[in-house]
Amino acid sequence: MKPAPFTYFAPHSLDEAVSLLGQYGSDAKPLAGGQSLVPLMNFRLAKPRCLVDLNRIPDLAYIRREDGTLAVGAMTRQFEAEQSDLVRAAVPLLVEALKLVGHPTIRHRGTVGGSIAHADPAAELPAAAAALGAELVIRSGRGSRTMPAENFFVGPFTTALAPDELLTEVRFPVPAPGTGYAFLELCRRHGDFAIVGVAALVRLAADGTIERASVVLCGAGPTPVRARQAEAALQGAAPTEDRFREAGELAAQEAQPSSDIHASAEYRRRVAAVLVRRALLAAAERARERR
C-alpha cells in the first residue's frame, strides 16, 4: 500500500526541526530511520499530515563519553552504536541489546532515538535504557528538559513526549566497575521481536554479595517492566542460582503480559521467570570477571 498524502520537510538544523514541530504540532511526525514509521504509514495505521525528516541534521548523530556518562545522539544508527568501541567499553549491555534488534539491514537505518521514541513494548532498547537508568534529553521550542527513561514510557507506543518535542540524546550512566550485565530474549526466529526479553545488571560488593541488581523485562507488559520486588530481594543476597530462581519467580509475578497470536500471558510469565534467572546468572558471572 501507499501512504496517505503528506507534506515533507527536510530541515538542516535542530532549531528548524523544532520550529516545524511547534508549528504543526500533532499533525507532524519526526522521521528518523523510518523502520517503524514508514511501514505504519504504508498500512495507513499512521497518517501524519507532515513529516519532519531528521536525517539531514548532523548534530543529532554522535557517541561521546563524558565523565561517567555515554551520550548517544538520537539519530545515531543502531548499527553504528553496536559497532562502537566506546559503547562496548562503557555500556556493553547496550551492544548486547542492539544485536537482538531486527537484522543488520534494519539496524543500518534504524536509530537509537527512533527505537526509544517508538516505545514498542517488545523492543530491546527501551528495556536496556530503563535497566541502565538512562536519562533522555528532550527539546522543543519551549526549551530543553531531561527525563529518566523509566518515566518516559507511558503505554504501548506511547511516551511522555508532547507532539512538539524531539528526543535529542540518550545519556547512559557508565556502570561502576564490577557490574556484570546480560540481555536475553526468546523469539521465534533470530531477528524477530522478543516474545519476552530481559535486561539485567548485577553489581557485586567486595564480600561477593549483591550490592545492586537491575532487572527490566520487555514483551511482558504495556511498557518496559522493572521488576522492583526481584531487585529488592537480591540486594545484599548471595549471587546463587537459588536466589536468582526466586528473583525470576518474583519478576514473573510483577510482569503484566497479555496474550496474543505469538504467546499466551501464562507462557510469557513462565519464560520471564526462566530468562531472569539465566540473565542474572550470566550477569553475576561477568561481574566476577570485571572486578
Cα dist. 286→94, 127, 200, 201, 204 in Å? 15, 20, 11, 10, 10
Lookup: cell for 255: 510482569
C-beta closer to ligand FAD: residue 170 or 287? 170
Which of 9, 17, 18, 36 touches ligand FAD (CB under 6 A)? 36
Binding residue (CB under 6 A) for ligand FAD from 117, 204, 271, 282: 117
CB of 33 to ligand FAD, least distance (A): 3
The reply to whether 106 sits near ligand FAD by the rule CB under 6 A is yes
Residue 28 cell numbers, joined: 507532524
Task: Give yes or no for residue 28 binding ligand FAD (CB under 6 A).
Answer: no
In whole angstroms, what is the distance from residue 86 CA to residue 89 CA?
Answer: 5
- Residue placing its CB nearer to ligand FAD in the complex, 181 or 193: 193
Q: How many CB atoms are located within 10 Å of the residue 120 CB?
A: 18
Q: How far is CA 168 from the centre of its chain?
A: 15
By beta-carbon proximity to ligand FAD, the closer residue of 59 and 242 is 59
Q: How far apart are the first and last CA of the chain?
A: 54
State yes or no: residue 114 binds ligand FAD (CB under 6 A): yes
Strand partners of residue 225: 217
Return the residue of 11, 30, 219, 239 that touches ligand FAD, per CB under 6 A: 30
Which residues, 120 to 139, sit near ligand FAD by CB under 6 A? 120, 123-125
x/- contact string, 143-172, with ligand FAD (CB under 6 A)?
A: ------------------x----xx-----
The C-alpha cell 527525563 sits at: 147
Exactly one of 76, 84, 115, 179 binds ligand FAD (CB under 6 A); that residue is 115
Indicate the residue among 167 and 202 with the shorter CB distance to ligand FAD: 167
**Of 247 and 279, which has the nearer Cβ to ligand FAD?**
279
9 binds ligand FAD per the rule CB under 6 A: no
Q: Which residue has the cell 531528521?
A: 54
Between residue 174 and residue 203, which ones bind ligand FAD under the rule CB under 6 A?
193
- DSSP state letter for 157: T
CB of 103 to ligand FAD, least distance (A): 7
CB 38 within 8 A of CB 4: no
Cβ neighbors of 85 (< 8 A, separation 6 or more) are: none
What φ, ψ does residue 182 adopt, rounded to 5°? -165, 140
The reply on whether position 102 binds ligand FAD by CB under 6 A is yes
Smaller CB separation from ligand FAD, 95 or 204: 95
Closest CA to 52 of 163, 152, 154, 137: 163
User: What does the alpha-carbon distance between residue 49 and residue 47 come to, in Å, rounded to a whole number?
Assistant: 6
Q: Residues in the site for ligand FAD, rule: CB under 6 A?
A: 29-37, 74, 101-102, 106, 110-111, 113-115, 117-118, 120, 123-125, 161, 166-167, 193
